[in-house]
Amino acid sequence: MTMMSAEQYEKSLRRLNLVVYMFGKRVENVVDDPIIRPSMNAVAKTYELAHRPEHEDIMTATSHITGTIINRFTHIHQSIEDLVKKSKMGRLLGRETGCCFQRCVGMDALNALSIVTFDIDAKHGTEYYKRFVKYLAYVQENDFTVDGAMTDPKGDRSLPPHKQPDPDQFMHVVEEKKDGIVVRGAKAHQTGAVNSHEIIIMPTLAMREEDKDYAISFALPSDAEGITYIMGRQSCDTRKLEGGMMDQGNLLFGGHEALVVFDDVFVPWDRVFMFKEYEFSRQLVEQFAAYHRQSYACKVGVGDVLIGAAQTAAEYNGVERASHIKDKIVEMNHLNETLYCGCIACASEGHKEPSGTYCVNILLANVHKHNVTRFPYEISRLAQDIAGGLMVTLPSEKDLQAPETATWLKKYFEAHHDIPTEHRMHILRLIENLTLGTAATNYLTESMHGAGSPQAQRIMISRRINMHEKQRAAKKLCGIEE
Amino acid sequence: MTMMSAEQYEKSLRRLNLVVYMFGKRVENVVDDPIIRPSMNAVAKTYELAHRPEHEDIMTATSHITGTIINRFTHIHQSIEDLVKKSKMGRLLGRETGCCFQRCVGMDALNALSIVTFDIDAKHGTEYYKRFVKYLAYVQENDFTVDGAMTDPKGDRSLPPHKQPDPDQFMHVVEEKKDGIVVRGAKAHQTGAVNSHEIIIMPTLAMREEDKDYAISFALPSDAEGITYIMGRQSCDTRKLEGGMMDQGNLLFGGHEALVVFDDVFVPWDRVFMFKEYEFSRQLVEQFAAYHRQSYACKVGVGDVLIGAAQTAAEYNGVERASHIKDKIVEMNHLNETLYCGCIACASEGHKEPSGTYCVNILLANVHKHNVTRFPYEISRLAQDIAGGLMVTLPSEKDLQAPETATWLKKYFEAHHDIPTEHRMHILRLIENLTLGTAATNYLTESMHGAGSPQAQRIMISRRINMHEKQRAAKKLCGIEE
Amino acid sequence: MTMMSAEQYEKSLRRLNLVVYMFGKRVENVVDDPIIRPSMNAVAKTYELAHRPEHEDIMTATSHITGTIINRFTHIHQSIEDLVKKSKMGRLLGRETGCCFQRCVGMDALNALSIVTFDIDAKHGTEYYKRFVKYLAYVQENDFTVDGAMTDPKGDRSLPPHKQPDPDQFMHVVEEKKDGIVVRGAKAHQTGAVNSHEIIIMPTLAMREEDKDYAISFALPSDAEGITYIMGRQSCDTRKLEGGMMDQGNLLFGGHEALVVFDDVFVPWDRVFMFKEYEFSRQLVEQFAAYHRQSYACKVGVGDVLIGAAQTAAEYNGVERASHIKDKIVEMNHLNETLYCGCIACASEGHKEPSGTYCVNILLANVHKHNVTRFPYEISRLAQDIAGGLMVTLPSEKDLQAPETATWLKKYFEAHHDIPTEHRMHILRLIENLTLGTAATNYLTESMHGAGSPQAQRIMISRRINMHEKQRAAKKLCGIEE
Amino acid sequence: MTMMSAEQYEKSLRRLNLVVYMFGKRVENVVDDPIIRPSMNAVAKTYELAHRPEHEDIMTATSHITGTIINRFTHIHQSIEDLVKKSKMGRLLGRETGCCFQRCVGMDALNALSIVTFDIDAKHGTEYYKRFVKYLAYVQENDFTVDGAMTDPKGDRSLPPHKQPDPDQFMHVVEEKKDGIVVRGAKAHQTGAVNSHEIIIMPTLAMREEDKDYAISFALPSDAEGITYIMGRQSCDTRKLEGGMMDQGNLLFGGHEALVVFDDVFVPWDRVFMFKEYEFSRQLVEQFAAYHRQSYACKVGVGDVLIGAAQTAAEYNGVERASHIKDKIVEMNHLNETLYCGCIACASEGHKEPSGTYCVNILLANVHKHNVTRFPYEISRLAQDIAGGLMVTLPSEKDLQAPETATWLKKYFEAHHDIPTEHRMHILRLIENLTLGTAATNYLTESMHGAGSPQAQRIMISRRINMHEKQRAAKKLCGIEE
C-alpha cells in the first residue's frame, strides 16, 4: 500500500495514542471528538481525492526514490511542473474543504529538508541526507500525514535563544546519548497536529554559534512519549457541539491548531536531520518558509468558496443583477485570481537545488504570501457587503425548528419564492463561518500569520530584490555616471 | 425623576413582559439571561454615565419642552453644539463598552420624527407634531430607551410593497378603527430591541401613492400585545454560557439584534405619527438615516478600544518598539481619527429645520458612514497583524486552570516576565472578540450594514453633490463657454 | 483702504523690485512674465472674491485690532467660526482657481506667530507680541500678501543645524547690530514667493540650545536687499509660452515655487519676532504646521474642479450613464468630501490659546493633511480612468488649427454631435493639467509634501493620541487589573 | 539578414516616406525630429539587445516557419516557454528604456492573427492562414517593426458601427476591387506608429452581421498612400526641444502615440486577413487583447527604473536608512513583483491553439492588466513621497549653468557632500519624468487605458470565471442540495 483511502487514514489515526487536552480535559477519543473531527475530515480529503481519476494528475506523483505512485503530499518536487501542480493541489483542496486541510506543512518540511540535509552533508561530510531519504521512503510508503513544526514560543523577543531566562522557549537538546538525543521545548500554532502520524521539528530562526544547541531538526512519531498536545480554540468552535446542521456553516470541514509540548523526548539518531550545524538554520527557515508561503495557494480555493457563497447569497437575496453587486463579485474574483497568479508564478519561476529538489522562487513566494495577508480580508469585507446584515442577525437553527418561531422565520426571511428560506440561512451561515467563525481563523488570521507574519515577508522581499540592477538602470537613463 | 440610574433602568426592564425567543425557546427571564445580559449592561452604561460629573456635559441636555435636565439620548437637538456632543457621546460610550450600546437608534428616530411630523402638519394641517411632542415628553420624563425600527424584511427586492406576493413583507395597516389602527409586519435586525421600553416604527423606503398603506409611523410599548422578539445569534455567543472570565473577551458588554414580529398589533391614534402621507416617507427615511449614519461615531470609540488592545498586545508580546508595529498603530489611529472627523464635520455643518430641530449635514453624514463601512475592517486587519497568530490558537481558559495544562501554558505563553500570561491571554481574547467574536458583528458587519448598506450611502452621495457647480468651475477654467 | 481690488494688487506688485531668476536669466518684468502671470492671477482671485457680496462672509473678517473689515487672509482667528470659515475659503478658492492660490501660508504664519510671540513674552518678559501686533496692523492695513517661509535646505539630514559642514543650510544670524540683525541662509519651495509683498521667516524644526542662532523668526519686505528668488520649474510649464488657448489646460491660473536666498540681509529689530528662544521653535513649527495642514482644504476645491471635469469628459465621451462611470464619480466625491470632513473637523474642534487666537485641533489637522497625501492621487487616477486614453494622445492645439489636420481631428474626435470637438479637447487638457501638468505639481506632489511630508504627520499623530486612555478602556473591558 | 542592428533599423526608417504632422506642420525628417527621436531610440533598443549574448535567450527565437534565428518580436509563440520569455523580454526592455518601447503591439497582432486566420479557414475554407504565414515570413525576414492597430475613434459610444451618423468612425471597406479593397477610417492612440515599417489593422470590437463591412483585418506598409499620421502630444514633450541634458529626465528614450487616418487606402488581397467574417471579430479582439494585456509586463521594468530612482534619491537625500523610507521601498517592490507574478502566471498557464500557436491564459492576462491599471499609480505616489518636494520645485538646468544662480543651487541643493548636486537633480528629473512627464503618459495613463481600459478587463474577468464551480463547492459545504 502506498496510498491510503480516507477510511484507512481514519483507521490509522485510531491506532495513535496521543496525549491531547482541550477545555482543560484529556480528550479520550480524538478521532470522534466533535470539535476535532471536521479537521480530520479535511485531512481525509487529501487521501480521498488522490484516488479520484479526475484529480490524479494533480493529487499524485511518482516517487523519485521508489518509482511508485504516491500522494503528492509526500513527494519531493522533481520539476517546475511539480511545483505548479502543488499550487493547483492547494487551490483544489481549499475549494473542496473551505478550510485549512493541514497537510501541506509536512510536505513543505520534507522538501526543505531534502535540500538542506544534502547541503550540510556537502559541507560537513555528514550523513543527514541518507538518513532523510530513508525516512522519506518510510513516509511515502505509509502515506503519512506529517506535521512540520517550526514556531517556538520565543519568550522575550529581544533575546536570542541562548540568552532566554527560560532556555526552553526554543526547542533544544538537553542530553546527548549514544543512541540519540533528548529534546525539550514546545512548538506553538501547530496546524493539524493531532491529525498527524509524524512530526518534523525545525529551528525557528537563523542562529549563531552560541545557539547551536537550538539548531536541531528531527522527526518523531506524533505519539512519542513525552509529547503533549493542547488544543487551541477557535471562534464559534462550540457550535460543532450543538448537534445541528446549519449554524456551524461548513457542515463537514474545519482546521485546528495546537500547542505541542516536548517534555524531554528521546529522538534516535536516524531521525536527527540537523544537529548543531547552526549556519544552516537560516537556509532551512528560509526555504521551508518559501515553500510554505507558496502553500497559501489554498486560500485561493477558500476564496473560491467564499465567492461562490456570495454569488449564491446575492441570488437568494434577489439582487444578483444589481450593477454594484456584479462589480463587487468581479472585484472578489480579481483579487482571488491575483493571489492565484502569485502561487503559480513562484512555482513557474522555480529552480533546481543541488540535491535535485526543485525550489520555488523565494522572492515571488514571499510576494505571494504577502498579498495573502491582505486580499482575503478585502474579499471577506466584500462578501459581508453582499451577504447583507442578516448574516449576523439570523436566529439560530433551533428557532427555525421550534413551532413558535419557525413560521415567522420562514415567512419573513423568504426573499425569493423559489428558494427555501433554509437555503438562504445555510449560505449566510457559511459566509459567517468564513468571515467570522471557525474558518475565519484560517482564511483571515492564519492568512496573516501562517508561514510567517507580514513583516517577515517584507524583510525577505527587501533581501531578495536586486536593487543594484534597478539603480544602475535608473542612473543610466538620467545621465548619472559614477 | 427624569434620569434613571443604571439600577433603576435594570429594574424597569424587569417590569416589562416581553415575548422573547432564543434557540427555539421562550426566554423567561430576559434581564438575567447570560447571553442577553451584556447587551443590557451596555444600555445601562448610557444611564450610568449621565450621572457622572465628568461626562454630564456630553451625556445630558436640557429639554426644550420642559427645561429639565434629561439624558441626551431622549433629547431633540437644539443647536450645532448638540449635534457635535451627540457624536462625542457616541465615541465615549463606544470606548467605555467596546460594543454597540443600542440606544442611539431611538434618539435618531425621535429627532427625525420631530422634523417630519412638523412638516406633514404644515402641508396637511394634521396634528402629528402635537402628538409627537406629547409622546416625547413622556419618553423624556421616564428616561426610556426606545428602539427605532425601520428595516422591513422586504421579500422580493424587485417589487414595491403593494406588489409583494406576501403583503406583510412591509409593515402595513390591516384595519382602521375609531380609536386607532391595527398593523401587521415585521422589522428585522432590531438593535437592542429587548432592552427597550418603547419601539418607534418608521417606513423603510420612499413610497408612492399605491403604497400608502405602508407609509406609517407610530410608537408602541415594547411589550404591547402581539409583538414577538426572536433573537439573532452572534459569532461566539455561547461563550457567554461557559461561565468563565476570559474567553468571552469583553467580560461585561455586548449587543444584540432581534427580528420583531407584529401580529395584528393595535396602535392608539395618539401614538400614530404618519398615516398614509406617503410623500413624506422618503424624507423620514433620509433624515433618520442621516442622523443614524452620524451615530456611527460609536465605532470610533470601539476603534479606541481595539487600538488600545493592539498597543497592549504589542507591549505584552515585547515588540512595541519595532518600527513596523509603531507604524501600524499610527495607521490605525489615523483611520480612526479620520472617522472621527466625519462624525464631527457632519454635525458641525448641520442646520436648523422648520420645526427648530437641528439636522446634520446629510451629505457628510453619508460620507462618514461610508468610511465606517471600510476603515474598521482595515483597523481590524492591522490589529490581527499586531496581535499575532496566538489570538486564534490560544487554548481555552479551562486549559489555563487545569493542573495538567496550566503549567505549560504559563510557561510557554509568557513573553515578558513582568506580565502575567493571563494578561496576555485576556488582551488577545478581547482582540478576538472585536475582530471575530460577538463584538465583530457590531464593529464590522454592523458597520457595513447598520443605518444602510454601503450602496445606500453612495446613492445619497450622488444625490447630494452639487455637480453643476463643479462642472461650471471646470468649464470656466479651461475655456468652455456654453 | 484696507482691502485691495485685484487690479490694485497687480499694480502694487509692479512697484516691487524683486530679484528673480528663471531659466538662467533675470526676469525683468515679473508681473507680465507668461509663466509667472497665472500664479499672480490666482493670488489676485483672493482679492477679487473678497469684494463679491456672495462671498464676503467667507472672504472677509473684522480685524480684532482695528475693527475694520479686512481680507480674511490677513486675519487672526478669533473664534471656531473663523477657523471653519478659513477652511471654506480654501475650498472656494481652490474651486475657482483650480490650483494653488498661494496666500494661505502667510495667514498661517501670522496666526502661529500671534500665539508664540505672546507665549515667549509670558516666559521671558520680551516684547515680541507688541512688535508682532504692530506689524500685523501694517499688513492688514495694506492688505498684503505674505509669504510664510519655513523650509530650510537642511543639508545633511542626519545633523542638527549647528553641526552642518555648511552653516548656511539653516537660516541663521550672522551679525547682531544695534538696530537689527543680519541673516543668512535660504528657504526652499516657497509658494507664491514672487507674488508676495512681505516674507515671514520661521525656523524649520525643533531646536536645542546649541542651535540657538538658528532659532529666529522675522519679517521682511519681499524686495529687501540681498534676497534672490530662483523660480522652480513645473511639469508642462512652457506650454504657457506657446500662446495658445487650449494646451495649457487651465487657461487662467497656476502656482509657483521658488528658492529664496538670503545673502546677509538686514532685519530691523521691530521685525524680529523670535531671537534665540530655541525652546519655542518646536511650538512655532507645530502650530504653523497645524494651521497650514488645515489649509489643505484648498485641495478639496481643486478636487471639485477635477470631479467636474471628469463628469464633463464622461458626458462629452457619451458614457456618463454607464454604471461603472457613475460609480467612479461617486468614489471621487466620497474621497473629496472625506477630505472636507477633515478640514472642517479640525476647525470645529479648535481651541483658544492664551493670546486669544483660536488654533485648530492639532491631531485632526494632521489627520486631515495625511489624507491629503493619499486621496488626491486616487481621485486623479479615477479621473484618468474616466477621461480615457485620448487625454495623453491628443494632438496639439496647433493641429486643430492647421488646415491639413483640422478636418481629421474634428471628424475623428467627435464623440457627441452636440458637443464641439474643441470642447472635448479643452476638458481633456484640463484633466491633463490637473493630473500630469502644472497643476499636478500642486494637486499631487504639493499635497504630498506641502506643510510637511507624510511621515511628519504620522509622527504628530503618534504624539497627539491619548494612548493611555485607549489602553485603560481595553484593559478594563477584558478584565486586566494593574 | 534576419536581424537588423539598431543602426540598420534607423537607416531603414529613413527610407520610409511617412506623412506625419505635429504642432500643425508636416514633419519633414521624422527620424531626427527631437521630439520623436527618443521614441525611435526605444524601438532601436529592441534591435540592439537582440544582438547581445547575455540577452539572446530572451530576445531571440527560432522561426517555426524558416528555422532561422529571429527577433522575438516577430515570433509566433511555440511553447509555454516562449510565452514566459515574452514577459521577461517586456520587463527587460522596460527597465533598459524606462518607457514604452512600442514594438509589442505588432507581435501581439501577429500572434492573434496566427490563431484567428487558421480558425476562419477551418470554418469557411478560406485561405487567410496561408496568406498570413507568407506575410509573417516577410516580416521575420526583414525584421520589421509592426504597428498593430485596433482602436477606432468610435463616435457615438451607444451605437454599433453601422448605425453611426459618420460611417468612418469605425474602419470599413468602401470599395471591393478585383485586386484588393479600399478602406476608410482611422485608428487612434497608435503607439510607435511612425517608428513602424508595417501596420496591421484589426476590428475594435465584437460585431454582428449588420457590421460585416467593419469586420476586416489587413496589413499595409506604413507609408502606403493615403495614410496620415497626426502625433499626439505628451506632458513635458517640448523639454526635448530645450537642448539640455537634464530637464527631460530620461535623456535617451520615450514613446509616442499618433492618430492614423486612412483616407481611401488600397489593400491588395494578399494582405487581407479577415473580410466580413464578423463572427470572428470577438475572438480576434479578445485574443489580441489578452496577448497585449500580457505585454504590460513592460511596466514591471519601468517600475524597476522608478524603484531604482527612488532608492537613489533617498540615498542622495541622505535618508535611505529611515525605517519609513525602507518600508516604502519594500512596498514599491512588493507591488511591482505582484505585477510580475501576473505576467508570468498568464504565460505559464497558457495553452496551444489549433493553429499551433500558444496563447496566454485569458483570465489571468486580464487580471494582470487590471492590476497594471492600479499599482503603477501607487508606486508613483510612493516614489514622489520618497523623492521629496524638490522634485517639483527644482529650478531649470539653465539656472544650474548661469553664473548668477549656479552657486546658490550647488550650495543649497547639496544634501550629501559626496554626491554632486547635479546627480541629485538628475535623479529627481527622472522621477518627475516617470510620474508627471513624458514617461508618465506611458507608465500611468497608458497603463490605465492601453490594451483596454479597466472596465474591459472587468468584463472579461466576469466572463472567464467559472462561477458555477464556485457555487457548487459553496453549496455542498453548507448542505444545500438542489
**C323 close to A (CB below 8 A):** yes
Q: Are the beta carbons of B388 and A448 closer than 8 angstroms? A: no
Helix (H, G, I), strand (E, B) or coil at B412: helix
Q: Which residues of D touch B327 (CB under 8 A)?
A: 323-324, 327
User: Per-block average pLDDT, block size 10, for chain D (482 residues)?
Assistant: 92 98 97 98 98 98 97 98 98 98 98 98 98 98 98 95 97 98 98 98 97 98 98 97 94 97 98 98 98 98 98 97 98 98 98 98 98 98 98 97 96 93 97 98 97 97 98 97 84
Which three three-digit cell numbers place residue B4? 434613571
**D461 close to A (CB below 8 A):** yes
Contact residues, B window 423-452, toward C, CB-based 8 Å cutoff:
423, 426-427, 429-430, 433
Q: Is residue D446 annotated as a catalytic residue, yes or no?
A: yes
**D323 close to B (CB below 8 A):** yes
Given the residues D46, D60, D97, D191, the one annotated as active site? D191
Place of cell 403604497: B211
Q: Do C327 and B458 touch (CB under 8 A)?
A: yes
Q: Out of B378, B405, B454, name the one closest to residue A385 (CB).
A: B454
CATH of B293-477, one of 3.40.50.1950, 3.40.50.1820, 3.30.1330.40, 1.20.140.10: 1.20.140.10
* Strand ranges (E), A150-282: 172-176, 180-191, 198-201, 216-221, 227-231, 257-268, 272-275
Q: How far apart, in whole angstroms, are the C-alpha atoms of residue B188 and residue A393?
A: 8
A-to-C residue pairs, Cβ atoms closer than 8 angstroms = 8
Q: Is residue C210 annotated as a catalytic residue, yes or no?
A: no
For position D2, what pLDDT does the model report?
81
- The residues spanned by each domain of chain A are 6-87+97-279, 293-477
Closest C-alpha among A307, A321, A436 to residue A383: A307
Helix (H, G, I), strand (E, B) or coil at B33: coil
Q: Which residues of C touch D322 (CB under 8 A)?
A: 455
Computed over its alpha carbons, how large is the radius of gyration of chain A?
A: 24
> pLDDT tens digits, residue range C334-351?
999 999 999 999 999 999
Q: How far from the centroid of its chain's Cα atoms is residue A227's Cα?
A: 21
Q: How far apart, in whole angstroms, are the C-alpha atoms of residue A132 and residue A128?
A: 6
Q: Are the beta carbons of D190 and D146 closer than 8 angstroms? A: no
Given the residues A99, A104, A343, A359, the one annotated as active site? A104
Q: How are the residues of chain B apportioned to helix, strand and coil, as percentages rounded to the nearest 5?
A: 55, 15, 30
Q: What is the dihedral of CA B156, B160, B161, B164, to 10 degrees?
A: -40
CA distance C322 to chain A (A): 10
Q: In what order do the strands lie in the sheet with D20-22?
A: D25-26, D20-22, D227-231, D257-268, D180-191, D172-176
Identity of residue B475: K
| Whether pLDDT at B223 is above 70 | yes
Give me the phi and psi of B417, to 5 degrees please: -65, -15
Which three three-digit cell numbers place residue A364? 515571488
Which three three-digit cell numbers place residue D448? 490605465
What are the helix and strand counts (H, E) for chain A? Answer: 18, 14
Q: Are the beta carbons of A149 and A190 closer than 8 angstroms? A: yes
Which three three-digit cell numbers place residue C447? 499635497
CA distance B40 to chain A (A): 17
Q: How far apart, in whole angstroms, are the C-alpha atoms of residue C14 and residue A440?
A: 69
* Strand ranges (E), D306-460: 351-352, 358-359
For position A482, what pLDDT does the model report?
78
The secondary structure element, H or E, covering residue B441 is: none
Place of cell 481621485: C379
Q: Out of C98, C462, C474, name the one closest to residue B477 (CB).
A: C98
**Could you give the percent of chain B with pLDDT greater than 90?**
98
> pLDDT tens digits, residue range B394-428?
999 999 999 999 999 999 999 988 999 999 999 99
Q: What is the ipTM of this complex?
A: 0.97
First-last CA distance in chain C: 65
Q: How far apart, in whole angstroms, are the C-alpha atoms of residue B387 and residue C474?
A: 14
Q: Is residue D104 annotated as a catalytic residue, yes or no?
A: yes
For position B2, what pLDDT does the model report?
81
Which candidate in D323, D325, D326, D330 is best for mutational testing of the B interface (most B CBs within 10 A)? D323
| Whether pLDDT at B1 is above 60 | no
| Whether pLDDT at A203 is above 90 | yes
Q: Is the dihedral of CA B91, B93, B94, B96 positive or negative?
A: positive
Q: How far apart, in whole angstroms, are the C-alpha atoms of residue B283 and residue B119?
A: 10
Which candidate in D245, D337, D372 is best for mutational testing of the A interface (most A CBs within 10 A)? D337
Q: How far apart, in whole angstroms, are the C-alpha atoms of residue A321 and residue D100?
A: 39
**Could you give the percent of chain A with pLDDT greater than 90?**
98
For residue C50, give Cα distances in angstroms to B271, C60, C148.
52, 6, 21
> pLDDT tens digits, residue range B150-182?
999 999 999 999 999 999 999 999 999 999 999
Place of cell 406629547: B134
Q: Do D324 and B327 touch (CB under 8 A)?
A: yes
Q: Which residues of D touch B329 (CB under 8 A)?
A: none
HEC letters along C316-337 = HHCCCCCHHHHHHHHHHHHHHH
Q: Average pLDDT in the A264-278 region?
A: 98
Q: How far apart, in whole angstroms, are the C-alpha atoms of residue C79 and residue C84?
A: 9
The secondary structure element, H or E, covering residue C91 is: helix C80-97
Place of cell 433602568: B9
**B101 close to C (CB below 8 A):** no
**A324 close to C (CB below 8 A):** yes
- Planar angle of CA A18, A21, A26, nearest 5 degrees: 80
The secondary structure element, H or E, covering residue D205 is: none
Place of cell 427580528: B259
Residue positions counted in chain D: 482
What angle, rounded to 10 degrees, do the helices at C323-348 and C80-97 form?
A: 150
Q: How far from the centroid of its chain's Cα atoms is residue D157's Cα?
A: 24
Q: Do B21 and A405 touch (CB under 8 A)?
A: yes
Q: How does residue C368 score in pLDDT terms, banded at 50, 70 and 90?
A: very high
Which three three-digit cell numbers place residue D123? 470554418
CB neighbours (10 Å) of residue B377?
Answer: 24
For position C174, what pLDDT does the model report?
98
CB neighbours (10 Å) of residue B353?
Answer: 18
Closest C-alpha among C298, C376, C367 to residue C86: C298
Q: How are the residues of chain A apportioned to helix, strand and coil, as percentages rounded to the nearest 5?
A: 55, 15, 30
Closest C-alpha among B307, B290, B314 to residue B367: B290
For position C245, what pLDDT does the model report?
87
Q: Which residues of B touch A413 (CB under 8 A)?
A: 153
Mean pLDDT of chain A: 97
**B312 close to C (CB below 8 A):** yes
**B455 close to C (CB below 8 A):** no
Q: How far apart, in whole angstroms, are the C-alpha atoms of residue A114 and residue A130?
A: 10
Q: How far apart, in whole angstroms, are the C-alpha atoms of residue D248 and residue B7?
A: 75
Q: Are the beta carbons of A66 and A137 closer than 8 angstroms? A: yes
Which three three-digit cell numbers place residue D435? 510620474
- List the beta bridge partners of residue C201: C149, C218
For position C244, what pLDDT does the model report?
86
Q: Are the beta carbons of D39 and D442 closer than 8 angstroms? A: no
For position D1, what pLDDT does the model report?
56
| Whether pLDDT at C235 is above 60 | yes
Regarding the domain delimited by A6-87+97-279, which CATH topology (the fold level of the hierarchy) does it fall under? Butyryl-CoA Dehydrogenase, subunit A; domain 2 (2.40.110)
Closest C-alpha among B350, B345, B308 to residue B329: B308
For C335-349, letters b (16+ CB in 10 Å) and e give bbbbbbbbbbbbbbb
**D334 close to B (CB below 8 A):** no
The secondary structure element, H or E, covering residue B279 is: none
- List the beta bridge partners of residue A266: A182
Q: Do C257 and D416 touch (CB under 8 A)?
A: no
Q: Which residues of B touch C330 (CB under 8 A)?
A: 458, 461-462
Q: Average pLDDT in the A103-131 region?
A: 98
Q: Do B251 and C427 touch (CB under 8 A)?
A: no
Residue positions counted in chain C: 482
CA distance D40 to chain C (A): 17
CA distance A298 to chain D (A): 14
